[in-house]
Amino acid sequence: NAGVTQTPKFQVLKTGQSMTLQCAQDMNHNSMYWYRQDPGMGLRLIYYSASEGTTDKGEVPNGYNVSRLNKREFSLRLESAAPSQTSVYFCASSQGLSPKNIQYFGAGTRLSVL
């Protein structure tokens, strides 16, 4: 019962470096999401994918790109990391975009940008 799997769990980057956060779900969900959580705050939506082949901006998309590789996988890329992107990143998935659908979360990736 893997659910939503994120890799890596931890990462340290230098300013200007790039990296891709990976996310995969095995629940055959149509919709996937990337959130960030800053200290003492709730999660904020970065990007989402309503279904395979579509992606859209959320609340805080600047500095990020995403790819919905297939129905299972949704990656988040930082092209040129900045200290302001130090955060914990969560991937989530749900059956669809409808608010009644529960979002299931991965365990998060803790990213530090020095």
Partner 1 sequence: AQTVTQSQPEMSVQEAETVTLSCTYDTSESDYYLFWYKQPPSRQMILVIRQEAYKQQNATENRFSVNFQKAAKSFSLKISDSQLGDAAMYFCAYRSPFNAGNMLTFGGGTRLMVKP
Q: Does the protein bind partner 1 through residue 53 (CB under 8 A)?
A: no
Give every strand in the sheet of 74-78, ordered side by side.
Answer: 4-7, 19-25, 74-78, 65-68
Of the candidate residues 7, 12, 15, 56, the single one contacting partner 1 (CB under 8 A): 56
Phi-psi region of 108 (alpha: psi -120 to 50; beta: other; left: phi over 0): left
Of the candidate residues 58, 67, 71, 86, the single one contacting partner 1 (CB under 8 A): 58
Of the candidate residues 15, 26, 57, 114, the single one contacting partner 1 (CB under 8 A): 57
String of contacts with partner 1 for each residue 32-51, x by CB under 8 A:
-x-x----xxxxxx--x-x-
Q: Give the whole-angstrom CA distance, residue 32 versus residue 12.
A: 25
105 in Cβ contact with 4 (< 8 Å): yes
Q: How far is the CB of 16 from partner 1 (least distance, A)?
A: 27
Instruction: Please say which residue, 17 or 63, places its beta carbon nearer to partner 1.
Output: 63
Identify the CA nearest to 65 among candidates 83, 84, 46: 46
68 in Cβ contact with 50 (< 8 Å): no
Binding region for partner 1 (CB under 8 A):
31, 33, 35, 40-45, 48, 50, 56-59, 88, 90, 92, 97-100, 102-108, 110
